[in-house]
C-alpha cells in the first residue's frame, strides 16, 4: 500500500486564500492549497514552508495546525495535514514550479490566485472535505474548534 503525508498551507491575506491550479496529463485541471508530500526527515512546518516557496515564491512561516484528514482508497492511504502559514504583507506571489516534473516536460502548475470566500464556493478546490471546512470556518478566521476531518474510505 502506498502511504504518504501531504501538507497543505493556508496562506491568507485580507480574507483571501492563496490557491494554485494544477493541470496534469489525463486529468481535469484542479485547484489546491499550496502544498505537497512530506519528505522523510522533514517536519510539517518545514514541508509547508518549502512547498509554499516552490509553488509561489513566498517566504512563509508556520503559525499553527488547522486540520488533519485521511483518505483511504484501494492501494493508497494519505494523511492530509493543513497548516496556517504567514507571509509578509508586501511580498508578491509568483507562480513557481513542481520539482518532480522532469526538465523539458509540460509544467503542472498553471496559475496562482488569491481567492475570497465568495469565489471559493465557485472553485473546484480539492479535497472536497477541506473546501467545505474552509468555507464553514471562514467567518471565524479559520480558527477551527475541531481539526480532524473525516475523509474515510473511498
Could you please report the per-residue DSSP string of 77-131? EEEEEEEEEE--TTPPP-----TTSPTTSPPSEEEEEEEEHHHHTTS-BSSHHHH
The residue extents of the domains of the chain are 2-88+106-145
**What pLDDT does residue 135 have?**
94
**What pLDDT does residue 95 have?**
92
Which CATH topology does 2-88+106-145 take? Nucleoside Triphosphate Pyrophosphohydrolase (3.90.79)
10-residue mean pLDDT series, the chain (154 residues): 95 95 87 96 96 96 94 91 95 85 73 94 91 91 75 57
Cβ 10 vs Cβ 84: under 8 Å: yes
pTM for the model: 0.88
- Angstrom CA distances, 102 to 47, 54, 74, 154, stand at 21, 15, 27, 30
Amino acid at each position: 500500500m502506498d502511504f504518504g503525508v501531504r501538507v497543505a498551507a493556508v496562506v491568507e491575506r485580507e480574507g483571501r486564500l492563496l490557491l494554485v491550479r494544477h493541470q496534469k496529463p489525463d486529468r481535469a485541471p484542479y485547484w489546491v492549497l499550496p502544498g505537497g508530500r512530506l519528505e522523510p526527515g522533514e517536519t510539517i512546518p518545514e514541508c509547508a514552508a518549502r512547498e509554499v516557496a516552490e509553488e509561489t515564491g513566498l517566504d512563509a512561516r508556520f503559525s499553527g495546525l488547522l486540520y488533519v484528514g485521511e483518505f483511504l482508497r484501494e492501494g493508497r492511504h494519505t494523511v492530509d495535514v493543513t497548516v496556517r502559514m504567514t507571509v509578509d504583507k508586501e511580498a508578491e506571489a509568483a507562480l513557481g514550479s513542481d520539482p518532480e516534473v522532469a526538465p523539458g516536460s509540460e509544467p503542472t502548475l498553471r496559475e496562482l490566485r488569491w481567492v475570497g470566500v465568495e469565489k471559493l464556493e465557485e472553485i473546484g478546490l480539492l479535497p472536497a472535505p477541506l473546501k467545505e471546512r474552509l468555507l464553514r470556518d471562514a467567518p471565524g478566521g479559520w480558527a477551527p474548534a475541531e481539526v480532524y476531518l473525516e475523509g474515510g474510505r473511498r
